Amino acid sequence: MSNDFLQMHLKAVMSCLVIFLYKVHTTKAGQFFSSGHTNNWAVLVCTSRFWFNYRHVANTLSVYRSVKRLGIPDSHIVLMLADDMACNYRNPRPATVFSHKNMELNVYGDDVEVDYRGYEVTVENFLRVLTGRLPPSTPRSKRLLSDDRSNILIYLTGHGGNGFLKFQDSEEISNMELADAFEQMWQKRRYNELLFIIDTCQGASMYERFYSPNLMALASSQVGEDSLSHQPDLAIGVHLMDKYTFYLLEFLEEVHPASQANMNDLFKVCPQSQCVSTPGHRTDLFQRDPGSVLITDFFGSVRKVEITKDTINLTSPVEPPIQRSGSGDIQIESLTYVDQLPVAEIIHQKPKQKDWHPPDGFILGLWTLILLVFFQTYGIKHLKHIF
């Protein structure tokens, strides 16, 4: 009888615990603490050059726009555009990039900061940004300064094939290189979770080879399928966007920073009836259940708020620099501007004394040869006559 009572007691306790845990899990605080990241980064890359690839730039800019709107600041976004479409001479509306025909939505905007542009978008630079192995003089805006608590969104678009993505019509990145770069990032603890989205032909081949943990990937088409473009605009003369990113943008426009939409909704974006190609996704390397991952975990930005009740004493301010009168007596004589074109001075300019360099290897070799031949012919005994 005590056994039964114990079992019943245990069951009651267990059910209470389960109910309590369930409540924690579904409250906002519970979800806040279950994601595990403290900052968000985004790397958005458009790899195509030339005016007829306008749609790839529009794709990247629409994701940039959504990501900025949901809270990620410019300092945490690395935007790489391989060509300039907005101020291209063929653009009938300069400083604009449209995503809808009839010029409804200008995704370029007035406040855009492109970090890598034109010829700087190369496979090498992309991999260096991901792995962090950049030359020391690279400015901060061109670096991906993520840590082990960063959630990174990587978006690639352009022309691709089975296992590769073409950069600027002159080089390719293979799926193995990408997988190795992500492994390097994992080993250097450069990300907490990574969402990889690719909108190219046969995009699913690019995520086939991933092997690092905490990666989730989405692609616009399966191997053997082409991703299609959405709609041309007759005034601009080119196709404005790709189908997958168009519907992705439509989906993201509904998302706001407090939205509870999760990854399962993202996987449903653009089914085959709308996209013609079959979008694919890969979640086996991801530890959490996609249904519990919020869209804003990757597209939005976490703002950590710490509430404190202590008062903080500020230190005394910086002293103003020494007054001008103290150092003024050193410069009594008036300063003058330099003559912009001093003709007399220029004509009589002495030629610069060139620095003396030691003779080149060729000259040294030539002289050695001449001396060798001389001494071989005439013998060493002549040496003392010379020196």
Partner 1 sequence: MAAHRCGLSLVCILIFSTPAPAPARDQFQEELVIRPLHSGDIYASFQFRTLWDTDFLQERQKKVSHYRLFPKSLGQVLSKFSVRELHISFTQGFWRTMQWGQPFIPSPPGAELWVWFHHTVSDVDGNWKELTNVLSGIFCASLNFIDMTNTVQPSASFKPLGLGNATDHRFLRYATLPREIVCTENLTPWKKLLPCGSKAGLAVLMKSEKLFHSSFHSQAVHIRPICQDEQCTSKAWELRQTLNVVFDHYTSGQGKKEWSLFKMFSRTLTEACPLASSSKVYVDITDNPELSPATHLLSRAVVLGDRRTYSVYDLTRAETFGQLRSFNLLLRWKGDNMLRPLLHAERYVAGFGLQTGEIHTVIYNNHPYRAFPVLLMDSVPWYLQLYVHTLTVTSKSRDNKPSYIHYQPAKDRHRPHLLEMLIQLPPHSMTEVTVQFERALLKWTEYTPDPNHGFYVGSSVVSALVPSMVAMSTNFTQDQPLFSSFVPVKEESSYFVRVYTEPLLVNLPTPDFSMPYNVICLTCTVVAVGYGSFYNLLTRTFQVDEPSPPLAKRLANFIRRIRGVPLLA
Per CB under 8 A, which region of 108-116, 196-204, 238-246, 366-374 contacts partner 1? Answer: 108-116
Sheet holding 159-161, edge to edge: 159-161, 164-167, 171-174
25 contacts: CB under 8 Å, gap ≥ 6: 31, 34
Give the shortest CB-163-to-partner 1 separation in angstroms. 17
- From 183-191, 197-205, 206-214, 317-325, give the range in contact with partner 1 by CB under 8 A: 317-325
- The residue assigned the tokens 């903080």 is 312
100 token code pair:
């809808």
Q: Which one from 201, 230, 239, 281 is the annotated catalytic residue?
A: 201
Q: Residue 294: which of 257, 320, 248, 327 has the closest Cα?
A: 257
Q: Tell whether residue 94 is a contact of partner 1 (CB under 8 A).
A: yes
> What x/- string results for residues 330 through 359 when contact with partner 1 is judged by CB under 8 A?
-xxxxxxxxxxxxx--xx-x--x-------
Q: Which of 87, 235, 364, 371 binds partner 1 (CB under 8 A)?
A: 87
Burial class for 327, CB neighbours closer than 10 Å (0-12, 13-18, 19+)? exposed
> Is 167 strand, coil or helix?
strand
Residues 6 or more apart whose CB falls under 8 angstroms from that of 217 comprise 195, 196, 197, 198, 206, 207, 210, 281, 282
Shortest distance in whole angstroms from residue 98 CB to partner 1 = 12
Pair of tokens at residue 243: 């189908």
Q: Does 319 bind partner 1 (CB under 8 A)?
A: yes
Q: Residue 201 catalytic?
A: yes
- Which residues are CB-neighbours of 191 under 8 A, at least 6 positions away? 146, 148, 150, 151, 152, 185, 214
Is residue 140 near partner 1 by the rule CB under 8 A? yes
- Amino acid at position 287, single letter: Q
Our finding on whether 114 is near partner 1 (CB under 8 A) is yes
Q: How far apart are CA 313 and CA 316, in angstroms?
A: 9
The position carrying tokens 């080119």 is 238
Is residue 56 annotated as a catalytic residue, yes or no? no
Task: Pick the piece of the chain touching partner 1 (CB under 8 A) from 33-41, 182-190, 256-264, 306-314.
Answer: 306-314
**Closest CB to partner 1 among residues 234, 307:** 307
Q: Which of 104, 110, 355, 360 binds partner 1 (CB under 8 A)?
A: 110
Does residue 318 bind partner 1 (CB under 8 A)? yes
Catalytic residues: 159, 201
Contacting residues toward partner 1, per CB under 8 A: 49-50, 84, 86-87, 93-96, 108-115, 117-120, 135, 137-142, 168-170, 305, 307-309, 311-314, 317-322, 324, 327-328, 331-343, 346-347, 349, 352
